[in-house]
């Protein structure tokens, strides 16, 4: 069932996937809002026994505070946010895409260590790319995160399941699913096209505040 909340997440995901890196200030802030709101949503159940407030109200407040903090931190530290977003996506890819390939035949502590190692390696690689190749990292990261929400690979239901359990396994989704791959590929390609054909400059000129920081060229990072 497509509720207003689900529809809003799908719309935000599409915007993030298709024009995210072109308007970096908005994309990074939107990503911060989504990540912060999601963190607040996951934290709400653990606060229920501490704060005597109705569960629905507590969840709403936790999401609002998490989104506000995430959005503010992302806007205030845009360059750092790109590194963090790259690390987040890299860690997810390492844990759920690369890790299982190496840990498939391992069990117990050995398998866990392999998964942890793959996750940490993914975080390191993603963060490094975010530092060296800001534009490329932002294109891939916003397309990835946007596609996850737009294709409904991540929904409030999956966040509920993750909040209810001791692990984040419910957040695992199939990165080879056709809907996810289609949005991810089309989003990344369309964003690269926006840069290549000069549409970024026009978009930045139309949107207030977008000139504050725009990852419009990886050569800027290389020349620093």
* Crossing angle for the helix pair 178-196 and 199-206, to the nearest 10 degrees: 90
- pLDDT for the residue numbered 124: 92
Check whether 158 has a pLDDT greater than 70: yes
> pLDDT (tens digit, 9 = 90+) per residue, 195-205?
666 555 555 55
Domain parsing of the chain, residue ranges: 4-223
Residue 23: pLDDT band with limits 50, 70, 90: low
- pLDDT for the residue numbered 103: 58
For the chain, give the mean pLDDT.
76
Cβ neighbours for 137, distance < 8 A, ≥ 6 positions apart = 82, 85, 86, 126, 129, 130
Q: 184: number of CA atoms within 13 Å, CB side?
A: 19
More confident residue, 183 or 105: 183
- pLDDT for the residue numbered 210: 45
> pLDDT (tens digit, 9 = 90+) per residue, 212-222?
444 444 544 44
More confident residue, 142 or 194: 142
Check whether 137 has a pLDDT greater than 60: yes
- pLDDT for the residue numbered 177: 87
The pLDDT of 28-51, averaged and rounded, is 78
| Per-position DSSP letters for 87-110, written without gaps between them | HHHHHHHIIIIIHHHHHTT--HHH
Distance CA 8, CA 5 (A): 5
> pLDDT (tens digit, 9 = 90+) per residue, 60-96?
888 899 889 888 877 777 777 778 888 888 888 887 7
């Amino acid at each position: 069932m497509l509720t207003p909340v689900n529809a809003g997440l799908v719309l935000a995901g599409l915007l993030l996937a298709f024009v995210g890196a072109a308007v970096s200030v908005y994309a990074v802030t939107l990503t911060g809002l989504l990540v912060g709101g999601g963190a607040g949503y996951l934290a709400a159940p653990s606060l229920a026994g501490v704060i005597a407030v109705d569960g629905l109200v507590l969840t709403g407040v936790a999401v609002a505070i998490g989104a506000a903090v995430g959005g503010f931190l992302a806007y205030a530290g845009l360059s750092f946010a790109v590194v963090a977003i790259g690390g987040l996506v890299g860690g997810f890819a390492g844990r759920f895409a690369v890790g299982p390939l190496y840990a498939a035949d391992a069990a117990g502590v050995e398998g866990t260590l392999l998964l942890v190692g793959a996750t940490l390696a993914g975080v390191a690689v993603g963060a490094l790319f975010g530092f060296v190749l800001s534009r490329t990292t932002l294109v891939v990261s916003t397309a990835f995160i946007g596609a996850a929400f737009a294709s409904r690979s991540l929904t409030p239901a999956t966040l509920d399941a993750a909040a209810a359990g001791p692990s984040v396994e419910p957040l695992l989704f199939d990165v080879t699913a056709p809907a996810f791959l289609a949005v991810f590929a089309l989003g990344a390609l369309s964003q690269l096209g926006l840069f290549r054909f000069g549409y970024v400059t026009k978009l930045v000129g139309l949107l207030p505040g977008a000139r504050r920081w725009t990852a419009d060229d990886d050569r800027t990072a290389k020349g620093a």
